Amino acid sequence: MNRPGIWIALALFGVVATGGGYWWGMKQAGQPLAEKSADTFVPAERKILYYRNPMGLSDTSTEPKKDSMGMDYIPVYADELPGATAPASGNTQRRVLYYRNPMGLPDTSPEPKKDSMGMDYIPVYEGESTQSGQVKISLDKVQKLGVRTEVATLRKMTRTVRAVGKFQVDERLLHTVTTKFEGHIEDLYVNATNQPVQRGQPLMQIYSPELISAKEEYLIAWQGKQALNSGTEESQTGMEHLAEGALQRLRNWDISDSELKGLQSEGKATSTITLYSPANGVVLEKTAVLGMHFMPGDPLYLIADLARLWLIADVFEQDLGYVSIGDKVKISVDAYPGKEFSGEVAYIYPTLSPVTRTVPVRVELDNPGGMLKPDMYASLQLEAGGGKSPVLTVPDSAVIDSGTRQVVLVQLDAGLFEPRAVKIGVRSDGYVEVLQGVGEGENVVVRANFLIDAESNLTAAFSSFGQHEDQAAGNPAVPDMAAPVTDTGHEGH
C-alpha cells in the first residue's frame, strides 16, 4: 500500500472512534432520571421537636444535652408522633383541623403559633385524630415499649389474712367447786394447783353439822314412812310429805343419789361427806386448805377442761372485712416447728383496740394430748373469701393510681388505647377487683402502662374527663399526644 492510502485509512478510523464515543455518552445521558435518583437519593432532613431523657425520665430539653451519667438526650422527631402518617401522594393536600401544643398541654389553636419556648404548634390533620380520651401509639413504639396486655376475667378473690394470738381456756369449760352449806375441810385428796383430775375423782372430805342434821331429818322421815305402810292413808301421806321435803333439801345441796341410797341402806348419817371433781381437767386455782372453815358459795377449786381451747387473734382492721364466722384457720406455734393445727372462727368481737387498731377474733380448736397450753403464742393463717362468687378482676399492675383516682389503660385496637377511670374493690394475690369501668374480656395494659402515660401525655387525657366545656367553646380536647409530660406521680410498672 502506498503512503496516501495509509493516511486515508487512519483518518477514517479516527472518525469512527469519535462517533462511537459520542454515541455512548449520549446513551448514558439519556437514562431516566428515576434510575439515577434511586442511587443518589438523600432523605429530607427530619424535624426535631425536642430531646427526651435517655433513661425514660420525664424531663426534656429543646436542645442537645447530656444527663448526669453522660448519656446523650434522644431526639424526638415530628414523624414519630402517634397518628403521624405519610404525606399524601401527588398534589393532594390534607386539611388541617387545628394545631396542638408541642409539649402535650391540652390547649389548641385554629392557626399556626408558637408556645412560650418558641416551639411551633403541631398540626393535626383530618383523619389523624382519635376520639376524645383515646391514645394512639405507633406499632413500632408499642413494640419498643414492651407493652403487654391481659384480659379482664372473673375469678374468686381469696385473701390470705395473717395474725398472731394467744391461747386461752375455753370459758365454757371452766368449773368452780363450791358448796351450798357451811362446813370444815377434814381431808384433801387434791392438794396442788395444775394437778390433773378426772370427772368423779374425790377432791376432799368435809364435815358439816348442818348437813348432818339434814341427813338425820331425812332418815327419820324415810324410816317413819316405812313404818307406817300398814297405817292409815292420812298418816302415810303426812309422813311421805316429810320425807320428800327432807330429800329435796339434800338434793338442793347437791347431794348425789348414790349418797342418798347409801344413807338409806346404812340407816344412819355419816359425819363427813366427800366432794368429787365435776369434770376432766386441770386445777387452775385452789383455795382449799386442810382444816379450813368455809361458807356457802366459797370457791374451793377452779378446774379447767383443756381438751378444747380458744385462740384470741388480733386481726388488723383492714383485714377484718375478709373474716367471717366459720372460716377455717391454719395455726402454728414455735413449740412444734412444722406441725400445723386447725381451727375455726367462732366469734368476732365487737370492739377495736385504739392502740393497735386490731379487733379480737376468737378461734376454737381441739387440743389433742394437751399439746397446746393456755397463754402460748401462735400464728394463724386464714384463707378468706373462698366461698364467695367470682368477681371481675385485673392484675394489680394494670391500675395506675394517681392518689385521687385509679385508671386502667384498655387496648381498643392495635396501638389504640383508652384510659378508663375505674372503681376498685378488694386486692388479693396480685389481682384487684374492678367494680366499675372495665368489662369482662377487655384487654388491659399490665406492662409499660407508665411509659404509655409518659409517651402519650395521659395527664391531658385524664383532665379531659371533667373538662367538656372546652369542646363547647370550639376547642377540641386532644389527649392523643406523644410529647413529653411532667411527672404525673403514677407508679411505674
pLDDT tens profile 438-459: 999 999 999 876 666 555 554 4
Closest by Cα among 399, 393, 395 to 491: 399
Task: Report the distance separating Cα 349 and Cα 355, nearest Å.
Answer: 16
* pLDDT one-digit tens code per residue, 291-333: 999 999 999 999 999 999 999 999 999 888 889 899 999 999 9
Per-residue CA distances from 199 to 192, 194, 275, 303, 307 (Å): 17, 15, 11, 10, 13
Per-residue CA distances from 164 to 152, 323, 351, 354 (Å): 35, 14, 17, 17
DSSP category for residue 254: T
Across the range 216-237, mean pLDDT stands at 70
Query: Partners of 125 in the beta sheet?
Result: 96
* pLDDT one-digit tens code per residue, 40-57: 444 556 778 778 888 766
pLDDT grade, residue 400 (50/70/90)? confident
Q: What per-residue confidence (pLDDT) applies to 67?
A: 84
Flag whether pLDDT at 39 surpasses 70: no
* Residue type, position 150, single letter: E
Cβ neighbours of 345 (radius 10 Å): 22
DSSP category for residue 397: G
Given a contact cutoff of 8 angstroms between Cβ atoms, the answer to whether 187 and 310 are in contact is no
Angle in degrees, CA 314, 320, 322, rounded to 5 = 125
162, three cell numbers? 395473717
Q: How many CA atoms lie within 13 A of 358 on its CB side?
A: 14
Within 305-405, residue ranges assigned H as helices are 317-320
Sequence-ordered list of residues with C-beta below 8 angstroms from that of 339, at least 6 positions apart, any chain: 332, 333
Higher confidence at residue 422 or residue 96?
422
* Residue type, position 133, single letter: G
Flag whether pLDDT at 483 surpasses 80: no
Task: Report the distance separating Cα 455 and Cα 161, nearest Å.
Answer: 39
Q: How far apart are the first and last CA of the chain?
A: 97
pLDDT grade, residue 19 (50/70/90)? low
Q: What per-residue confidence (pLDDT) applies to 325?
A: 92
Task: Report the distance separating Cα 124 and Cα 111, nearest Å.
Answer: 11
Q: So what CATH class is 160-170+305-384?
A: mainly beta
Q: Helix-strand-coil percent breakdown of the chain, rounded to 5?
A: 25, 30, 40
* Residue type, position 89, single letter: S
Higher confidence at residue 262 or residue 279?
279
446, three cell numbers? 399490665
* pLDDT one-digit tens code per residue, 356-397: 999 999 999 999 889 999 999 999 999 876 557 889 999 999
* Residue type, position 342, single letter: S
- HEC sequence for 469-490: HHHHCCCCCCCCCCCCCCCCCC
* Residue type, position 225, single letter: K
Q: What per-residue confidence (pLDDT) applies to 279?
A: 93
Task: Name the CA dihedral angle for 433, 439, 443, 447, rounded to a multiple of 10 degrees.
Answer: -30
Across the range 463-479, mean pLDDT stands at 42
- The domain locations on the chain are 3-39, 135-156+390-472, 160-170+305-384, 179-298
Mean pLDDT of the chain: 78
pLDDT grade, residue 124 (50/70/90)? confident
Closest by Cα among 319, 325, 316 to 348: 325
- Residues above pLDDT 70, as percent of the chain: 72
Q: What per-residue confidence (pLDDT) applies to 448?
A: 77
431, three cell numbers? 389481682
Q: What per-residue confidence (pLDDT) applies to 58?
A: 61
pTM (whole model) above 0.75: no
Flag whether pLDDT at 15 surpasses 60: no
* pLDDT one-digit tens code per residue, 135-185: 777 788 788 878 889 999 998 888 889 999 999 999 999 999 999 889 999
Per-residue CA distances from 357 to 168, 312, 350, 351, 352 (Å): 21, 15, 13, 10, 6
Given a contact cutoff of 8 angstroms between Cβ atoms, the answer to whether 384 and 350 are in contact is no
**Burial class of residue 284, CB neighbours in 10 A (0-12, 13-18, 19+):** middle
**Burial class of residue 259, CB neighbours in 10 A (0-12, 13-18, 19+):** middle
DSSP category for residue 268: S
Topology match between the domains 135-156+390-472 and 160-170+305-384: no
Q: What per-residue confidence (pLDDT) applies to 415?
A: 82
Q: What per-residue confidence (pLDDT) applies to 486?
A: 36
Task: Report the distance separating Cα 445 and Cα 417, nearest Å.
Answer: 9
Higher confidence at residue 483 or residue 43?
43
Per-residue CA distances from 414 to 42, 418, 474 (Å): 32, 12, 30
Per-residue CA distances from 395 to 142, 157, 433 (Å): 20, 12, 9
Task: Report the distance separating Cα 403 and Cα 397, nearest Å.
Answer: 15
Closest by Cα among 229, 189, 167, 224 to 376: 167
Q: What per-residue confidence (pLDDT) applies to 12?
A: 57
Least confident of 200-204, 348-352, 444-448: 444-448
Task: Report the distance separating Cα 436 and Cα 22, nearest Å.
Answer: 82
3-class DSSP assignment, residue 339: coil
**Burial class of residue 281, CB neighbours in 10 A (0-12, 13-18, 19+):** buried
Residue with cell 394545631: 99
Q: What per-residue confidence (pLDDT) applies to 345?
A: 96
Q: What per-residue confidence (pLDDT) applies to 97?
A: 75
In terms of CATH architecture, what is 135-156+390-472? Beta Barrel (2.40)
